Structure 1
């Protein structure tokens, strides 16, 4: 697929993460011969962001180990943050005062970390964990810390708690939910993972909110909504992220929760603009429902590729971008794998691989999330074979089909099955 210079000469990609790199690679693979300019807000080359709460934080990885390698001929410009957009003249304006004209624009700005108003983030001992610079700063602080508080028990918060525990530091997690990783693995699995973390010595203050954060003689004091408090040398804020659409205003497009796109990732309301990654909100054909976002690493790669194909299609119809969420993590001796969509209203069928064990998650378990008896998602902990079988069945059925899946008979004969409501 060769594209004439008069069709698309200049493509600008705003962002330099997984979605941006995937889009550039796909443009190159499809034979685009024009200029590709990638504007990155950070000084570092594109890198694997999940490494920030894993290898980079522990020191087992160097920055070069986390770099994303790519072969596309891209003009990468670091330290450029988009500040405004002229959709009529097709120009992106950056904080450096530069102007970048485009024939096609890919928005892959990802998300920014969220911290409560008034929190003195950036003061010594109070950290967020989002990018490489955050990981470096936190890794240095952990070397001298004795007690660490993690506020937020999502994937990032739990991975940070794992690093803290591996460094033999006292760790306490505070979260408003009664279990950990509620959004990522569901309430049922999150409760079982929380039990495993307690067995590993992590103190849990679940179902609690932080009212105030203040300095104390011991470092930091977190006052909770039940009148109790937590003292810590280091506080890690891991309260989630919001799509980075600050430079895209309502006069351009719907930015209510990311950029509203059609099924093919075209940003609605503007011409020759597509979006990919955590910043995109689109009707996922896999589920055939209202627009939503998917902010996982694999999703960013697949959306970047799809957005590039849509942009090259121009005004012609472009394939929809179906996406089935898939992600994983290793922490506290638990291999956690997820495929599909999880919802608090799902029925959840749990299978224990080693019935009778006190630590159900460590012994191995599979949780199938069902709606009206039809599987929508599967979560496995220390059950890689079973997860692979179920995930393959779900993916083989394709978008919208939502297959009925069950554990193979040869594997269920020695397992106790429980029916739970999530």
Structure 2
């Protein structure tokens, strides 16, 4: 009897899992429930080329012939509940239950909301989907003031795109610096200078405590007493894992669905969780982590599919990393650069390197030096202990550290 693999979530992770499972040799029936009315697509272009209008929404779709692979995608279908005992998924709207042998949760994450935004009619936008990008693009016109709440990746990428379209972006970040979670302090300082040089107004160390109508626009009151006029608000205060369906089914969650090194739920090996919604172990750092990045969605999905086909595979232990394009400059981050001693490598394109107490390289970051980050990733993967003096010397050959 052919097994049935059901995937809840039609994003990048769900799509890549389905593709990898089939191309890996599985003859199982594969069904994907995609809540959005779109085939699987990539999200990074949403805040850049799609939002700016330089690229059509269709260009974000994964280049996969789903029909040729025999993968059924139910677009616009939301899963309402999971019955783990009966091994079936109930679609919303009263459709027939869908039985499964293996269930894959690729439900991703949802933008966090702000308590101060109590009026449902306020012009508030988030950016998580193609439809979100289309709605936000309509207000990014020359001269309009756009308030971006949150100075993380989404907030800063939207700010850069808005500035490029002639709008006036205003970023408000509660922390004393930009990108407090994903970027080391020195690179955050460089990003701040870059944004201000491009006309982005940035307020640090304060937050929005109230928003009121002011004619056709709004006025936001900050915690420090300042008031900001704007035509629209974009929320960039992070995303929460969309793990409510899993929790309701009795699966353990803690800022994400808890899984093992093969992406299997700690409560049920027939249920997998991948991508943004999964909190997985990362042995090389001795932590559990929930990651939100294109690279992780790709790698975690492919590894989970391969491990389902071959349970003898080693546990997932990919080096974390991400990039972010802002004002024509690319921030690249490898590992966990919030940890350890920070070493500056001065150069035309400078970088920072982060050494743990035991001498291991655990992270690195740069604005633009992709070759240095390729070396960093390999060193982190090898648990290398490079000489800090050589890292700090701009005349040294980083590639020699790999020998």
Report the TM-score when normalising by structure 2: 0.91
How big is the alpha-carbon RMSD for the aligned residues of Structure 1 and Structure 2?
2.2
Indicate the residue corresponding to 2:309 in structure 1: 312
Shift of 1:159: 0.4
Q: Deviations over 1:179-235 (max 9, x none)?
A: 212222122211221122112221111111111122112511111111111110111
4+ residue runs over 4 A deviation: 405-411
Indicate the residue corresponding to 2:106 in structure 1: 108
- Give 3-state SS (helix, strand or coil) of 2:337's partner: coil
Q: 1:365 pairs with 344, 350, 355, which one? A: 350
Q: Aligned equivalents of 1:168 and 1:235: distance in 2?
A: 16
Is the contact between residue 82 and residue 249 of structure 2 (CA under 8 Å) also seen in structure 1? no
Indicate the residue corresponding to 1:335 in structure 2: 330
Indicate the residue corresponding to 1:132 in structure 2: 130
Q: Aligned equivalents of 1:112 and 1:191: distance in 2?
A: 28
Q: Aligned equivalents of 2:171 and 2:156: distance in 1?
A: 8
Shift of 1:390: 2.7
Is the contact between residue 87 and residue 271 of structure 1 (CA under 8 Å) also seen in structure 2? no
Please show how residues 43-58 of structure 1 align to structure 2 within 5 Å: 43-58=37-52
Shift of 1:145: 5.5
Change (3 A) 1:385 1:303: closer
- Structure 2's unaligned 5+ residue stretches are 398-403
Out of 328-337 and 86-95, give the one that drifted further: 328-337
Is the contact between residue 394 and residue 405 of structure 1 (CA under 8 Å) also seen in structure 2? no
Q: Deviations over 1:300-342 (max 9, x none)?
A: 11111121123334xx555311121121122124221111113
Q: Aligned equivalents of 2:284 and 2:83: distance in 1?
A: 33
Shift of 1:117: 2.8
Q: Aligned equivalents of 1:330 and 1:129: distance in 2?
A: 16
Is the contact between residue 272 and residue 311 of structure 1 (CA under 8 Å) also seen in structure 2? no
Is the contact between residue 386 and residue 407 of structure 1 (CA under 8 Å) also seen in structure 2? no
Q: Aligned equivalents of 1:137 and 1:157: distance in 2?
A: 16
Shift of 1:23: 0.7
Is the contact between residue 30 and residue 71 of structure 2 (CA under 8 Å) also seen in structure 1? yes
Indicate the residue corresponding to 1:384 in structure 2: 370
Shift of 1:121: 7.5
Q: Aligned equivalents of 2:198 and 2:319: distance in 1?
A: 32
- Give 3-state SS (helix, strand or coil) of 1:37's partner: strand
The answer on 1:38 being equivalent to 2:20 is no
Out of 54-63 and 110-119, give the one that drifted further: 110-119
Indicate the residue corresponding to 2:214 in structure 1: 216
Please show how residues 11-410 of structure 1 align to structure 2 within 5 Å: 11-71=5-65, 72-98=69-95, 99-117=97-115, 119-120=117-118, 123=121, 125-143=123-141, 146-217=144-215, 219-249=217-247, 252-287=250-285, 289-313=286-310, 317-343=312-338, 345-354=339-348, 364-372=349-357, 373-395=359-381, 397=382, 401-404=383-386
Q: Aligned equivalents of 2:246 and 2:370: distance in 1?
A: 41
Change (3 A) 1:244 1:409: closer
Report the TM-score when normalising by structure 1: 0.87
Q: Aligned equivalents of 2:379 and 2:92: distance in 1?
A: 48
Q: Deviations over 1:215-258 (max 9, x none)?
A: 11251111111111111011111111011011122652111211
Q: How many residues align?
A: 392
Is the contact between residue 273 and residue 311 of structure 1 (CA under 8 Å) also seen in structure 2? no
Is the contact between residue 283 and residue 291 of structure 1 (CA under 8 Å) also seen in structure 2? yes
